[in-house]
Structure 1
Amino acid sequence: MEVIVVDDEELSLNRLGNMLAGMPGVEVCGLFYTAAEALRYINENKPDAVFLDICIPETDGLALANKIKDIDGSAKVVFVTGYDEYAVRAFELEAVDYLMKPISRDRLEKTVQRLQRTLLGTDRQSNPQMKVSCFGGFRATVCESDSGSVNWRSPKTEELFAFLIFKRNVSRDEIANTLWDGLEPGRALTNINSTMYYIRKALSPHGLEKCIAATRKEIRIDSELISCDLYEFERLLRGRPSSKDRVETLDRLAELYKGELFQGKAYEWSFAKSRSLESGFISALLETAEYYREKRGYEQAEKMYKRAFEIDPFNEDICGHIIQICLKMGRKSEALRLYLQMEKFLMEELGEKPQAKLKKLFEEQ
């Protein structure tokens, strides 16, 4: 991989050049103090990557990056600076990375590895690089790493990332109207850009910032790089498994459903879908329970009803199904105990007694 470095500070220029020269697979082809010198070299030699300081004479590094792309659209740019105020604009220019001075060797190695993967066309890996859990809370974890969860700078940073995961592809206008409702449009846009910067900053040390693709109008999650329980759950619910695969599908749905969507987070934008997914899961459980009842598989049916009842403990119809199975299998005392528990629960929570039809089940025996 052939690289050049552009920086008007001699000490910084030589230090970065020496660090890069000591890394496997990297050939430093030039060190340049000015934009004009760098552009002449790029025009004639087409290096693979340019490490570019943002504050250089004649022009700023952001403008220079645009000129580099005009000359050679395949050249990869890595911005280097002592300030983080340009980070948002840098990422909008699709920089491979954004390095803060002083640069550590470990951090630079990650950037070089990312560049090499990109140039070899292997940056998009077949295996997910990050695992995101949305049920029972919200957590983003780096795959095959000891670093654990991704650390977010603030609750708003985490919420924006959760919203992007939730929507997959969303316009900046919708983000502003949802997460910064009531703010003047210009200020809302500034908040989006700065929060996006902190998301990328949290993902960058793990090489995960490529999970997000952004344009001036919209932001998209690359779901190929993410393993997300929400995506799998929705896919399984949309499917119509055959009777052969029904149990396997339900078992997987039950494994994924560890609680409400974004449980513990006051994300109002997720409430409607949370209820919809919960309702869909309960319907799938009940449908499968009925399938087993028709085939006299009462134990399997009871298991499905009980799982649905755990999720919706106010549902008297589900409770009635469980009571019916208990009575059919000769477990009258268990059926009575369940009825009394339901009666107590409804009185404590709603101040109401169960519907008469629930008690009538015992009279039909």
Structure 2
Amino acid sequence: MKMILIDDEPAMHLIVKRMLSALPDVEIAAAFTDTESAYAYLQLHEADLILLDISMPRESGLEFAARLRAEDRQIRLVFLTSHKEYALEAFDVYAFDYLVKPVIREKLHRTVQRAVSERISNEPASAEAVEAFAAAGLTIRVFGGIEIRGTGEVRAKWRSRKSAELFAYLLLRRGRLCSRDRLIGDLFGSMPQKNAETYLNTTAYQLRKLLEGFGRKEMLVSDNQHYALEIGEEDQVDLEGFEAGCREMLAADEIVDLQRALDLEECYAGRLFGERDFAWAGSEAERLDQLYAAFGRRLCEELLRRGEAATAYEAAGRLVARSDLDEEPRLLRMRALAMQSNRTGLVRQYEDYAKTLRRELGVEPSRSLYAQYRSLLEGLDRMG
């Protein structure tokens, strides 16, 4: 394995070379005190791994790493630094490891030996695998998280948090071109402009390499000033199917295909992008949450009309889990319990809701809900 070392302290060159001298199959081919000299070397020579300091004159190690990634360089990067606080940023440029000075010999040995023995994690898929992925299309899920799957349930491994965010951002734009300025403002707004531009380039590189592993490098479209994500007809996106299906069924006089409706309801596996709370996606997540709530209520009404009380109870429970202060899902659950002649469960459901309202808002259930609750109880009493 050929390595180069970049550190502005010449003494560190001697220390690292001495530490690695006993390792077989490892060669430190060159050492540099600045990134520009290292960059010039890399234009003419190959390297498998770079040991890189972060705090450097003129260009930091992170900036240099981002420049390499933007150029599609597949070199492993191991940061050797006195600063613990840059670890997350280091892995955003796909660092192989992050070691804090003073470097311990054993830790450095383990890192280098792992680099020697492991295949690089972003190595391109075989031509056969790429062809199979491209022909079959991708399954893309954005409810409850962000996930890309290919044939054989092969799942994408996001190279950084920002690459997942860029994919999500462009996916919501459904093929429309997004300017670099808007992407920088929405995704990297807290960074200085120069750093933000570098990180956008790096993030786009990471996303394109991930898509290339599925035979879909061309899915990320770009020019000098714009990016877009082009979803193919062969790709399946849970968001598109869910939204179209919900709107169709909400507009109809009745739900005819109950199984399809149940499948749609199950498709909503959680809030848009799950725990990835992107500030720019808040209004879209809320809109889809409201669409799910409206469709879920309609589905519960249809299930109750057909006498499917147990299924209606479970579906209403998912609406309650989404927002336990909403009155209508609680009433749907109570109606389902009454249909099953479950008086104890009905009373418990109402009392649980009343306690929740008192604890969270300091109010009692509405008179309308109380009246319907009493009506359900009286109906059960007459039957009993």
TM-score clears 0.5: yes
Alignment equivalent of 1:136, drawn from 138, 141, 144: 144
Counterpart of 1:110, as a letter, is S
**Displacement of 1:176:** 1.3
Go from structure 1 to structure 2 and tell me whether the alpha carbon gap of 1:107 and 1:331 turns closer, same or farther (over 3 Å shift).
Answer: closer
Question: Residues 335 and 99 (structure 1 numbering): CA distance in 2 closer, same or farther, change over 3 Å?
Answer: closer
- Alignment check: 8 A CA contact 2:133 2:150 kept: no
CA–CA distance in structure 2, aligned partners of residues 113 and 256 of structure 1: 28
Equivalent pair of 2:140/2:235 in contact (CA under 8 Å)? yes
Question: Any residues of structure 2 matched to 1:190-209 within 5 Å, and which?
Answer: 190-209=198-217
Instruction: Name the structure 2 match of 1:359.
Output: 370
CA contact 1:246–1:288 (8 Å) conserved in 2: no
Q: Alignment partner for residue 320 of structure 2, among 309, 325, 343?
A: 309
Q: In the alignment, what sits opposite 2:240?
A: 231
Q: 1:254 Cα shift?
A: 2.2
Matching residue within 246, 259, 262 for 2:270? 259
CA contact under 8 A between 2:300 and 2:332: conserved in structure 1?
no
Question: What is the alpha-carbon distance in structure 2 between the residues aligned to residue 361 and residue 84 of structure 1?
Answer: 62
The alpha carbon displacement at 1:181 in A equals: 1.6
2:32 corresponds to which residue? none
Q: Aligned residue for 2:333?
A: 322
1:97-151 Cα offsets, whole Å, 9 max, x none, are x8779x99x968836986xx6xxxx9963x21x3332222223333326xx4323
* 1:276-355 aligned within 5 A: 276-293=287-304, 301-302=312-313, 304-327=315-338, 330-355=341-366
Change (3 A) 1:188 1:170: farther
Give the TM-score taking structure 2 as reference length: 0.58
The answer to whether the 8 Å contact 2:143/2:272 transfers is: yes
* Alignment-mate amino acid for residue 297 of structure 2: L
Instruction: Report 1:28-43 matches (<5 A).
Output: none
Deviation at 1:339, TM superposition (A): 0.8
Structure 2, unpaired ranges of 5+:
1-41, 45-64, 77-118, 379-384
1:154 alignment counterpart? 160
CA deviations over 1:59-100 (Å, ceiling 9, x no partner) = xxxxxxxxxxxxxxxxxxxxxxxx99566467xxxxxxx877
Matched, 1:164 2:170: yes
Check whether the contact 2:134–2:216 (CA below 8 A) recurs between aligned residues: no
The number of residues matched between the two structures is 268
Q: Counterpart amino acid of 2:171?
A: I
Q: Secondary structure at the match of 2:228?
A: strand
Please say if residues 324 and 361 of structure 1, whose CA atoms lie closer than 8 Å, have aligned partners that are also in contact.
no
Report the CA distance between 1:200 and its aligned residue. 2.0
CA contact (8 A) 1:132 1:140 kept: yes
Q: Could you tell me how far apart the structure 2 residues matched to 1:324 and 1:111 are? A: 57
Partner Cα distance (1:140, 1:165) in 2 = 12
Helix, strand or coil: the match of 1:192?
Answer: helix
% identical aligned pairs:
19
Q: SS at the partner of 2:159? A: coil
- Measure the CA separation in 2 of the matches of 1:286 and 1:321: 8
SS in 2 for 1:340: helix
> What do you get for the CA RMSD once the two structures are aligned?
3.8
Shift of 1:179: 0.5
Give distance in 1, aligned partners of 2:285 and 2:142.
10
Distance of 1:285 and 1:109 partners within structure 2: 41
Question: Is 262-271 or 130-139 further displaced after alignment?
Answer: 130-139
The answer for the alignment partner of 1:249 in structure 2 is: 260
* Equivalent residue runs for 1:32-181 within 5 Å: 85=67, 88=70, 110=126, 125=135, 127-128=136-137, 130-144=138-152, 148-168=154-174, 169-171=176-178, 172-181=180-189
| Superposed displacement of residue 302, structure 1 | 4.5
TM-score by length of 1: 0.60
Alpha-carbon separation, structure 2, partners of 1:108 and 1:318: 49
- Alpha-carbon separation, structure 1, partners of 2:266 and 2:125: 38
Q: Measure the CA separation in 2 of the matches of 1:244 and 1:301.
A: 14
* One-letter amino acid matched to 2:369: L
Letter in 1 for 2:367: A
Greater shift in the superposed pair: 286-295 or 248-257: 286-295
Ranges in structure 1 where 5+ consecutive residues have no aligned partner = 1-53, 57-82, 91-97
User: 1:253–1:281: 8 Å Cα contact kept in structure 2?
Assistant: no
